[in-house]
């Protein structure tokens, strides 16, 4: 029994971590889809896919569960999104998501989906976390230790502060006026 759980993991935090723990009780193996893999260096998507693979891989080590972190680039075609995900991921039996669009797309493709109100936490925590990083508030206790190490290694706090500056001017690409 293999599950599939997708997130942007910007960054991977305790909300995600608890979900993985939860799912670990239901499946033998878990694919962790790292969404918007091509995006980085924006306020909403500060970290590269490679950095997020590190965060996820090191963090889930503590669980007794075989995991496959897989970056998934955006296709911007909802109608082929399920096929895209299925081609990039090891075959899975059940998808975990609380995003209504993701749920709808998997259902139209006859893939079993499981939802839980708990998933919502991750959304709130992601935005909150990034704001704290920018403001200089405490964020380290909201993520697994491995994530703190990765962010330190890539000088992630300085990066997110700079790009936050750019976003404040209404821009999130490297293309100035």
Site for a copy of itself in 95-154 (CB under 8 A): 97-105, 108, 119, 122-123, 126-127, 153-154
| Contacts (CB under 8 A) with a copy of itself, residues 21-40 | 35-40
How many angstroms separate the CA atoms of 59 and 31, rounded?
Answer: 14
Give the SS3 label for residue 114: strand
**Which residue in 46, 55, 53 sits closest to 129, CA to CA?**
46
Stretch of 17-25, 89-97, 131-139, 141-149 contacting a copy of itself, by CB under 8 A = 89-97
Stretch of 18-26, 45-53, 131-139, 140-148 contacting a copy of itself, by CB under 8 A = 45-53
Q: How far is the CB of 44 from a copy of itself (least distance, A)?
A: 9
Residue 32 bridge partners (DSSP):
5, 69
Question: What is the per-residue binding string for a copy of itself in 62-81, x denoting contact by CB under 8 A?
Answer: ------xxxx-xxxxxxxxx
**Which residue in 157, 130, 174, 136 sits closest to 13, CA to CA?**
130
Sign of CA dihedral 94, 87, 121, 101: negative
Q: How far is the CB of 126 from a copy of itself (least distance, A)?
A: 5
Among 57, 131, 142, 148, binds a copy of itself (CB under 8 A): 57
């Amino acid at each position: 029994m293999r599950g599939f759980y997708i997130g942007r993991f910007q960054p991977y935090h305790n909300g995600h971590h608890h979900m993985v723990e939860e799912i670990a009780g239901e499946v033998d193996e878990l694919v962790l889809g790292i969404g918007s893999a091509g995006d980085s260096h924006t306020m909403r998507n500060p970290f590269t896919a490679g950095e997020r693979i590190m965060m996820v891989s090191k963090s889930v080590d503590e669980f007794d569960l075989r995991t496959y972190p897989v970056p998934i680039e955006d296709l911007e075609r909802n109608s082929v999104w399920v096929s895209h995900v299925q081609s990039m991921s090891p075959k899975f039996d059940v998808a975990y998501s609380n995003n209504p669009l993701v749920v709808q797309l998997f259902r139209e493709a006859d893939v079993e989906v499981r939802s839980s109100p708990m998933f919502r936490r991750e959304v709130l925590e992601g935005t909150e976390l990034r704001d704290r990083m920018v403001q200089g508030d405490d964020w380290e206790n909201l993520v697994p230790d491995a994530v703190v190490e990765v962010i330190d290694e890539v000088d992630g706090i300085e990066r997110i502060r700079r790009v936050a500056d750019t976003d404040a001017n209404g821009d999130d690409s490297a293309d100035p006026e």
